[in-house]
Chain A
Amino acid sequence: MTPPVGGATEIAARVRAGELSAASVLDEALAAIEARDRELHCFNSLMGERARERATEIDRMVGAGQDPGSLAGVPVALKDNICTRAAPTTCSSRILEGWTPPYDATVVRRLAAAGALLVGKTNLDEFAMGSSTENSATGPTRNPWDTSRVPGGSSGGSAAAVAAGMVPVALGSDTGGSIRQPAALCGVVGVKPTYGVVSRYGLVAFASSLDQIGPFALTVADAAAVLEAIAGHDEMDSTSLERAAPRCSEVLDDGADGLRVGVVSDFLADASPDCASAVRSAAEVLAAAGAKVDDVALPELLHGLSAYYLIAPAEASSNLARYDGVRYGLRVDAPDVETMNARTRAAGFGAEVKRRVMLGTYVLSAGYYDAYYAQAQRVRTIVARAFARAYGHFDVLLAPTTPSVAFAFGAKTDDPLEMYLADLFTIPTNLAGHPAMSVPFALGEAGLPVGVQVLAPALGEREMFRAAAVVEAGAPPGVRGPVGTRSAR
């Protein structure tokens, strides 16, 4: 079946030209959601009414000869950890029950200013902690390629919504791979920008030094268009870089001639054969396009996983302290305030969140800080140095996004460490603050999509998109969404 919604850049171009009404685009998106979300559960909530008002306004502007913006009439889904006035922001957690933010995240304001239609909030692993979207208080999201399998996570709702053709683009957040991993598992493009390129203001924090918002899209070009709309300095975020959004759309036709591409050989050994061979094939595509391709050994990157699972929980333990029942969200009453805090948190947080809060509290504790947190920060520096060494010789790196294709529900839920390994290839990028993106490139085991990851140094988005566009063009047909819902095979 052909999903009703086309690509973002195509929609925007036709809406701006007056050939297509934003209202009709929205209707199609909402109809697709209506038709398929009961089964897939991509969305926690919809903002249809507000989106309809915006669509009417955009059509009126076009009629009046005004330009509603680069994403005019493009339906966008937002991961439900991005604050919106128009809908509750739950982080898929019970603890935020009943809370609607009194403000919009910077990315929400920028999307609206670009003419996008914000259609709903998508499911995630609670507070973005997970790799399968199974850790959600609202229930799991299903992978449209195979509904017996996970969509990946934590931004599983956004990835699946784009893969299922409900929306052409969506936003997620990536702390250790939470955009790229579900993008790979759902056969869509997912981009984690350089830390500081997209404002975090209004993104509910998981691990502040690692979190970054980025787009999901069906194509590399659409991802570039969304990134251009949301990126750029924001004075509300002190870690926001003082520079304009990278103009990645400009380089999509530049080809790979002369591009120096390093294939991270250490990762290939730890990936399943289908994921590893996709990287080799993508490298051949780049080489054929004139890139200079070589292997690079970066064994230090594999230590990133351990460092990440100390640093991210440490920050999370502090970021999630505010959910104490005093000001908003869930409150479980008790005779005194400490008991109220404890009961609220016991009832409001799921098991994985509790696990990470306890882990993080532990590693920051007096007597353990040096052995764990401080040591992890040293490893973080080592990872950054390894990347720096590689980028002395290469413009971009090529690696698998995930160790395997989408796995079945419950396959890793009993073993957190097994689940954590799903982020092995994506985490080093977050630790270094670099950009990376996943591009659908092959069908692997059971005909499921396989993503190839393109990595770049800080602010290397243009080179990254250049390479990604070449990889995308060289991919065989049928490797990416939109895909009609299929059940287990």
Chain B
Amino acid sequence: MLVALKRILKSSWVGFRRDGELALATVFILVIAASLVTALFLSREVSQFLISNLQEKMDISVYFKENATEEEVLNVKDELLKMSEIKEVKYVSENQALESFIERHKENQILMESLEEVGDSPFLASLNIKAWKTSQYGTISAFLEHPSFENLIEKVDYFQRKSVIERVFSLTAAISKTGILLSLAVVIVAVLVTFNTIRLAIYNSREEIKIQRLVGASNWFIRGPFLAQGAISGIAAALICLLAFALICWTAGPKLEFFFPDLSLFNVFTKNLGFIFSIQFLAGVGLGVISSLIAIRRYLKA
């Protein structure tokens, strides 16, 4: 058993050296396949990061009339918290609103002076609401439009932000839908191209396979070197791919950060390094081995 394994590995290595061009072509195709899978994964990570970033920043605020008491406001807050759509409600009292305004603008002499002139706090108490999903803001705002709140609520700022919110909503939906379709198409193409390359390589060896059968080699003894070559190509492809992506993320990362300051592509890459290498390894080795296995089947029947 061990001897057979050793022979299979040796013969596949020799095959590699003697038919370098073909091996190179296979590795090349596998690199492309593994790269596509990696690119898909990275773009999904990045777009999810961007989407959740946008969603994180999204909220609506309800401003209460001046005569509303704190108790009434907190009642509304309790009501809101009963809704399943709501992730978080933050109460901002008149004073807190004032303080945070001062905190933000304390450098600005003119603003500070005019604030003093007004005397009384010009701010309204408000509830700051975050939903789980962008699509839920409509429901929440409808709830707040209810007539029973009419003499309590000054305004809901959903309508000012409606268009932005909806745009983000439709954008994220579109991104994930096309993303799924695109990945599916890309993966199918990658699988087909890889399979075909390997099928051709094995087709080239069909006479040899026939001879091996005729002199009494068992199917596994014949398959072995092809599978081992598929696996070696896959490993080589995964390594090349990993290196290439490390380089790309490292150089392109800062450029992306220019547009999306919170996003560090290189961090995304290093954080998921294990997973990325696993998918590259699986894509490379899996495709290499499974394609070989399927392609060689028809030659082993006689």
Are A and B interaction partners?
no
